[in-house]
Copies of this chain bind each other. A is one copy, B any other.
Amino acid sequence: MTRIAVVGCGVVGSSWALVFSRAGFDVAVWDAVPAAVQQTLAFVRESIDSLAKQGLGGNENADTVCARLHPCATLEEALAGVDYVQESAPERVQIKRELYQRLDTLAAPNVVLASSTSGLPASSFTDHLTTRARCLVVHPINPPHLIPLVELVPAPWTDPAVLERAATLMEQIGQAPIRLSREINGFVVNRLQSALLGEAFRLVEDGVLSVADVDKAVADGLGLRWFFMGPFETIDLNAQQGVAEYCRNLGPMYYGLAKEQADPREWGAPLVTAIEQQRRTVTSADALPARRAWRDRCLAAFVAAKRRVLREQGNV
């Protein structure tokens, strides 16, 4: 049985502890700040009950799951006997460099060292290690206990077998890993989001439509299919003979649009101020926390609905 170390107990690390422990793994939990470890334990316990209420319950009660969590006072203790480390330390390269220096010598050589970093390439904090071939990025979309996608990004020196071990583990615990062939700025999710946001900001800056109407275009339109099908499957099913026919028919139109969208723009202060003002008429600054809680409840409910529907409809 694989034993996991969760290193770093912020929001992301806590969600990882929940994911791994619910999947049946023993999880050593460590943070440089001992109180953070206790917060993670409390988070896992509370989450199991609240997820059950939201239709996302597992087969086990909170006591059973929490018994798999092992709070550790030292990093040495956390690494003893583990097979895989999920590191979720602060996003500062110097902190990660020093932490990986310690992991390099403290973790047995065959242990996978996976970083949750959302933006730092693994090469920026593992180049100096003796055992750098077992390091990679395993980037979740927050929170991983609700959003399955995980980006696996190798450094130039990452052993391909290490990437496969991480992918297999992610599938075992019910996440959806994607494999990048190499390091690339923003990884994939932020690059796709960047492309859409770039056009969204451009349309608002050019006075084509309001911020609220851009949001509607996605939430009441494009997002309904993207919720369960990616962009390629969407267009593949939108032409009788499939994606090649779609590209033949619409490729020239999209190329024309791409040329109109080829001006990268900074998000200037006046534009950002205008967007902020429009957003605050919908959700006031005071109401942001309540709206976030609403988002989280909706997200949990939609994830539960998605699991149910995909189970009912099968995979045709």
Residues of A that sit less than 8 Å from B by CB = 119, 141, 146-149, 151, 176, 178-182, 184-186, 188-200, 203, 207-233, 235-237, 240-244, 247-248, 251, 253-267, 272-273, 275-276, 279-280, 282-283, 285, 287-288, 290-295, 297-299, 301-303, 305-306, 309-310, 312-314, 316
Given contacts A180-B208, A225-B299, contact A217 B232 (CB under 8 A): no
Partner of A227, one of B149, B224, B314: B224
Partner of A301, one of B223, B287, B312: B312
Partner of A291, one of B255, B258, B316: B316
Cβ–Cβ < 8 Å partners of A141 in chain B? 221-222
A142 — nearest CB in chain B belongs to which residue? B238
Q: What 6 new A-B contacts, CB under 8 Å, besides A225-B299, A227-B302? A: A176-B216, A192-B222, A194-B257, A198-B258, A232-B275, A301-B309
Interface of A is mostly: helix
- State the CA gap A198–B243 with chains docked (Å): 14
A271 — nearest CB in chain B belongs to which residue? B247
Cβ–Cβ < 8 Å partners of A261 in chain B? 191, 194-195, 198, 264
- State the CA gap A212–B119 with chains docked (Å): 23
- State the CA gap A186–B261 with chains docked (Å): 12
Partner of A276, one of B212, B215, B244: B244
Oligomer copy total: 2
Q: Which of A176, A207, A230, A244 has the most CB of B within 10 A?
A: A230
Contact A224 B299 (CB under 8 A): yes
A306 — nearest CB in chain B belongs to which residue? B302
Contact A191 B257 (CB under 8 A): yes
- Nearest 6 A/B pairs, CB to CB: A215-B230, A149-B221, A258-B264, A223-B226, A305-B305, A178-B213
Question: Nearest chain B CB to A211's CB is how many angstroms away?
Answer: 5
Contact A192 B182 (CB under 8 A): no
Question: Nearest chain B CB to A195's CB is how many angstroms away?
Answer: 4
Question: Nearest chain B CB to A264's CB is how many angstroms away?
Answer: 4
**Complex A-B: 12 CB contacts under 8 Å:** A149-B217, A185-B257, A191-B261, A192-B199, A192-B222, A219-B227, A237-B292, A242-B280, A244-B275, A247-B275, A293-B316, A302-B306
Contact B233 A279 (CB under 8 A): yes
Cβ–Cβ < 8 Å partners of A184 in chain B? 208
Question: Nearest chain B CB to A116's CB is how many angstroms away?
Answer: 15
A151 — nearest CB in chain B belongs to which residue? B217
Contact B203 A288 (CB under 8 A): no
Contact B279 A267 (CB under 8 A): no
Question: Nearest chain B CB to A206's CB is how many angstroms away?
Answer: 8
Contact A279 B194 (CB under 8 A): no
Cβ–Cβ < 8 Å partners of A186 in chain B? 253, 257
